[in-house]
Amino acid sequence: MKKLNKLQINPEKLMNNEELLALKGGYDACTCLCWRGTTILGYLVSGTGDCPSDCAYAFGEGATGSCQC
């Protein structure tokens, strides 16, 4: 274990590349642009590719979106 001042890094707790990609949304994830009416609500990563329902889940009823895979 390395010690950097007061911060200790435990190599057993480090995430490998596959775990980081799964956390991000994986290899096959799509980016969704979500909006309600003419207001852009934001972007999200969709693992399913079903942007309209993912945007409605994330931003509430009335939100829709389109995939940018």
CA atoms within 13 A on the CB side of 45: 10
pLDDT at 13 > cutoff 90: no
Output phi, psi for 42, to 5 deg.
150, -170
Sheet order of strands, 64-68 included: 39-46, 30-36, 64-68
Residue 4 has a pLDDT of 58
Share of the chain above pLDDT 90, in %: 33
Give the global pTM. Answer: 0.57
35-55 pLDDT tens trace: 999 999 998 888 788 899 999
Q: Pairing relation of β-strands 30-36 and 39-46?
A: antiparallel
pLDDT at 67 > cutoff 70: yes
Positive or negative torsion for Cα 53, 58, 63, 64: negative
Is residue 3 within 8 Å of 41, Cβ to Cβ? no
